[in-house]
Structure 1
């Protein structure tokens, strides 16, 4: 019996040594480092991604995509940070800062694994840097002044060189005097596409929208980045009604990518007529879309990106807007005295004897501001709204329209939706009221 026990123990000992040896073989050597985020792409040495062949280019309403050239397998971009004049809407031009003549700057659009050289020229009156927000790159290219690089002095050009390792949606902005420089409009979007040769597996429409906020006092032309009482809230640098509609064909798969580089405010963007799924952030993609809960509002926090996806299956003109109600008001709708419910009697008539054209505004809300006809301070915008088929739409600020159409051949703006007969809300007839037992009050 003793001999049998010894044999069993010997067998168990040998077996355990084999198991532990196999486990040890699966572990990396103790002195090895984890792989860097970009190392896999560096080893693969992928060719530059080609628009249309590798990805469907994104659409930038009211904006444009950055130009590049290919040199030795690198996509070479050139950004210039500079003073600009920027029109936020008809009647409001600002003297501010931007990249390559616009705010936001041009969309940087590449494919995963692309090697880039991005030259940044500083034509500002102050030093700057560029941070590639959300992109996993080597530390020396991160763009934090003093910590990872010296500042770019006025008049100089710096080179950022790295690999975009992951597909996704990211942003770029200064990381030097950030509050001032972002507040003056130095912001931009980055899209890194998955390499997908099959167009059927890509979105049909892929939109890029930067959310931003400004303080521009009435009658002035210079943003005040030190003031936190924001009165201009923009999508791609424009306010409603200057925002360019998004157009999709019935049956299209649509992505809308939102980035938020506002100074203080998160933006809950609500889309009428649709639900969607939030399929990505600046941290990555959802691994399984089937488990995602449908939404109708996406909250885009400060410094974050959200990507939404939906099937364009409901034709019409659908508004989408920030649901913080003061974010869909234009400049002169803010800091307005509370006149709601006030009975002005014949006050207006008496004041008009001194000030021709005078009208008290705000007694029933902001709608009368769109129709007053009163002169306004130069370089200022009231609650403009826009002329719809049925009257004035009292929306400003952070809002736009999604136009979904059937039987269209291009993505040019098709104009107002043609409603099928009998499909529009209208005054109830006496017959309808009687039919359903509704009494007028």
Structure 2
């Protein structure tokens, strides 16, 4: 064997070892304990105690997912699973969602944050999460079969990327979308600016919610997943009148309302 070939093999082996070590460290990272929420009431804003400061949003009839800091990285844990959502008092619907709710919890970060999201699949089929509107490396974009393998039942996949730009975004599956989104798998994502921003003004009250729709026949508790236009329940964050909470502000407050739309008639 020539010296040149030996050097090539040595450096190739060393590179493979370093790459393998990096993957192993990521794979062995301890999963943060998932946080669950079953109340349909609007939760108070989650004031950050770690990481960069920001003015938190209020999710209408929802909540913000807590995180833990790990060597400068914000770590979240989402659990995709069947849930029961109270759409209005006495009217409960079998849905799929995240961490006990549909929609899932809002994720709030700050521009430039490094985020790591552990996604555990407790659905009866494979899934992914697509971070709708984010600028991401291809392997983190969550399109099953295109830029990542789908997450098998009972397994956890780790997404990691930098929140590059501020704004209002959403997350949802790109795996069997017609079933999973029709069953309620979606959530809001808010990236706050790290400083003054020319297009994002400072406000006193910041709210967010998703528009979503379902077709649930009278007497049934499970949405019809094949419906494309003939819905009978139009929701704000999976709640309908008279069960939608109020948006509470003071006179002269400057208010921002972030509205995401993942109804199945519009999104595909």
The alignment's TM-score, normalised by the length of structure 1, stands at 0.48
The alignment's TM-score, normalised by the length of structure 2, stands at 0.78
Q: What SS is found at the alignment partner of 1:67?
A: coil
Cα distance in 2 for residues equivalent to 1:227 and 1:237: 17
Cα distance in 1 for residues equivalent to 2:185 and 2:108: 18
Cα distance in 2 for residues equivalent to 1:96 and 1:170: 22
Cα distance in 2 for residues equivalent to 1:54 and 1:179: 38
Equivalent residue number for residue 203 of structure 1: 203
Equivalent residue number for residue 123 of structure 1: 122
Cα distance in 1 for residues equivalent to 2:113 and 2:127: 25
Cα distance in 1 for residues equivalent to 2:256 and 2:98: 25
Give the CA deviation at 1:203: 0.8
Give the CA deviation at 1:51: 3.4
Equivalent residue number for residue 243 of structure 1: 244
After superposition, residues 188-227 of structure 1 pair within 5 angstroms as 188-196=187-195, 202-227=202-227
Give the CA deviation at 1:225: 1.2
Equivalent residue number for residue 51 of structure 1: 48
Cα distance in 2 for residues equivalent to 1:61 and 1:206: 10
Q: What SS is found at the alignment partner of 2:139?
A: helix
The unaligned stretches of length 5 or more in structure 1 are 1-49, 266-301, 304-441
Cα RMSD between the aligned structures?
1.7
Contact 1:55 1:197 in 2 (8 A): no
> Which of structures 1 and 2 has the larger relative contact order (alpha carbons within 8 angstroms, sep 6+)?
2
Equivalent residue number for residue 297 of structure 1: none
Q: What SS is found at the alignment partner of 2:58?
A: coil
Alignment CA distance shift 1:148-1:104 (3 Å)? same
Give the CA deviation at 1:237: 1.1
Query: Greater CA radius of gyration, 1 or 2?
Result: 1
Q: Deviation per CA, 1:4-48, whole angstroms, max 9, x where unpaired?
A: xxxxxxxxxxxxxxxxxxxxxxxxxxxxxxxxxxxxxxxxxxxxx
Cα distance in 1 for residues equivalent to 2:147 and 2:236: 31
Cα distance in 2 for residues equivalent to 1:133 and 1:226: 23
Cα distance in 2 for residues equivalent to 1:74 and 1:147: 27
Q: How many residues align?
A: 216
Q: Deviation per CA, 1:136-176, whole angstroms, max 9, x where unpaired?
A: 01111000011100010000000000000000010000000
Equivalent residue number for residue 176 of structure 1: 175
Cα distance in 2 for residues equivalent to 1:248 and 1:141: 38
Equivalent residue number for residue 262 of structure 1: 263
Equivalent residue number for residue 83 of structure 2: 84
Give the CA deviation at 1:54: 3.1
After superposition, residues 31-430 of structure 1 pair within 5 angstroms as 51=48, 54-196=53-195, 202-228=202-228, 229-265=230-266, 302=267
Give the CA deviation at 1:210: 0.5
Q: Deviation per CA, 1:375-405, whole angstroms, max 9, x where unpaired?
A: xxxxxxxxxxxxxxxxxxxxxxxxxxxxxxx
Give the CA deviation at 1:196: 3.3
Q: What SS is found at the alignment partner of 2:146?
A: coil
Give the CA deviation at 1:100: 0.5
Cα distance in 2 for residues equivalent to 1:120 and 1:227: 28
The unaligned stretches of length 5 or more in structure 2 are 1-46
Give the CA deviation at 1:197: 7.7
Cα distance in 2 for residues equivalent to 1:105 and 1:173: 9
Cα distance in 1 for residues equivalent to 2:237 and 2:195: 27
Contact 1:54 1:197 in 2 (8 A): no
Cα distance in 2 for residues equivalent to 1:155 and 1:261: 26
Q: Deviation per CA, 1:242-289, whole angstroms, max 9, x where unpaired?
A: 000001111111000000000004xxxxxxxxxxxxxxxxxxxxxxxx
Structure 1's consecutive aligned runs of 4 or more residues displaced over 2 angstroms after TM superposition are: 50-54
